[in-house]
Every structure is written in structure tokens, then in C-alpha cells.
Amino acid sequence: MTQLFVSAPELAKAIRSIGTADFVPALLDFMRSVAPFRGAFVSRLSPSRLPEHVFDNVRAERRSVVVDRWLDRAWLLDPFVVSYLGGRFDPVMVLEEVAPDRFSQTDYYSIYYRSVRLKDELAVFVELPQSTLFFSLGRLIDEARFSRKDRARLLEAQPVIASLCEQHFNGQVAHNPQPERGTVSLEDLIQGVCEGLTNREIEIVQHLLRGHSSQSIALVLDLSPATVKVHRKNIYRKLGISSQSDLFSIFLQSVI
């Protein structure tokens, strides 16, 4: 068991800021004292609603690329969100635990993720009564990846983080309830922009967009790799495209 190093001044600052506008920045300072990071993007997730922006420290000139693109449904391809929606998430997770086998070769990675300039990403989840807080913590391209020790330290600190969030956000909801927001699924989006596909082909398109190879899709859907390749060929023919990049372009045009 890793011995948790807690910065008493940062923790005290976070406690004092509960119920104020300074809470999330103060909480992130406490988390940063446990495991260093630079980028921070906090949102509320719910299986039945669109993600809600809570906080970010992105520079104003980069908000359209980093924040707005993600909120404009690119979150549907985020490996952490996919794990959350599938009910397969832990309180603290690093990107390599959730990314599909071809993640670094996907258009989502090259067009969106790399433009965010991240070297690595770590997620902290805090479950609240009506939603789950998703803390996306990033290290930039000139920094080292998150280590096992970083993950272990944040995992030990997570109950403290969760308790602070419960005190702040539960009171906030009671006094300032958020309006209901709509929802969208990747399956619905594909059905809307990729007409003529079968249910199985829509399943395969979802996995392709999220970065799975034909071999990985075959394992997930219990198909042979040859069958997946046939479906993939039929998908391209029906949509009048010739590559996975073209498929991602269809997705981008519908959300950005």
C-alpha cells in the first residue's frame, strides 16, 4: 500500500471553499499535490443526459478546439466516457486501461485528441446521487506519463475527494437544481447520418469510430475477423467511402 502524501494547506483550502465558486480550483490544487498534472476538465456524466461542463483550465483561445468539440458530442468517442456508460469504470483510471487497441491510430486521436496536446490522461470519478463527476486530468506532450504510484496515490485520496464533492455538489443541487437536458447516443447519431446500415453494421461502425481493430471487434461481438472485414467492406460501399478516415469525417460533419 502506497503511503498517501496529503498537503494539509491544500486540503484545508479545499474544505474552506466548499459551497463557493472557488471549490473546484481548490480541489484540483489538492489533487495536484497528490499527483501532479497540468490540464483539468471536469464534467457531470449521466447515462440519461448529455454531459454538463463544470470546470476547465483551458486557455480561452483553445476552448473551441479542446472544450467545445468535446461537449459537441466528441465525448461519445472518449474512452473514459465509453467505460462509464458501459458501467465498467473504477474510481481512478489511466488512459491505457480503457483505450482500445488501435486508439493511437484512430482519426479521433489524430484529429481531436492529439490537438489537445496531451501526453497522457487520468480520470477520477466521483458518484453523486443523480450524476457522476468526471475529472479528466492531463499531462502535456513535454511531460512524463502517469505512473502506477500516481494512480495509487489518487486512488487512496479518492474517498477524501469524493467526500468533499458530496458536501459541495449535493448542497449545490439542493439550492440550485439543474434543468433537465436531452441526451444522444452514438448509435442514434450513426442511424441519423449513415442511412441504410443494418443493426450489426451500426454496431461495427461504433467500434471502428472508437478505435477498435477488426480483430478487436471480432472478439467483442463474437464474430470471426473475416466476417467483420466483410461487414466493413459493405459499410464502406453503402456509405460511398473508401477508408476509416472518410467514416470519421461523416461523424465530424454531424457534430462539429
Tens of pLDDT along 176-209?
Answer: 555 555 666 788 878 877 878 999 999 999 988 8
**Three-class DSSP category at 90:** coil
The predicted structure's pLDDT at residue 249: 80
**Average model confidence (pLDDT) for the chain?**
87
In the chain, the domains with their CATH numbers are: 8-175 (3.30.450.80), 186-255 (1.10.10.10)
What confidence category does residue 73 fall into, taking pLDDT thresholds of 50, 70 and 90? confident
* Tens of pLDDT, residues 28-37: 999 999 999 9
The Cα–Cα gap between 40 and 153 comes to 17
The three state secondary structure string of 197-223 is: CCHHHHHHHHHHHCCCCHHHHHHHHCC
Is the pTM above the cut of 0.85?
Answer: no
The Cα–Cα gap between 204 and 227 comes to 11
Residues 6+ apart with CB under 8 A from 165: 27, 126, 128, 133
> Residue 55 in contact with residue 17, Cβ under 8 Å?
no
Copy the grid coordinates of residue 23.
Answer: 471549490
* Tens of pLDDT, residues 78-100: 999 999 998 999 999 999 999 88
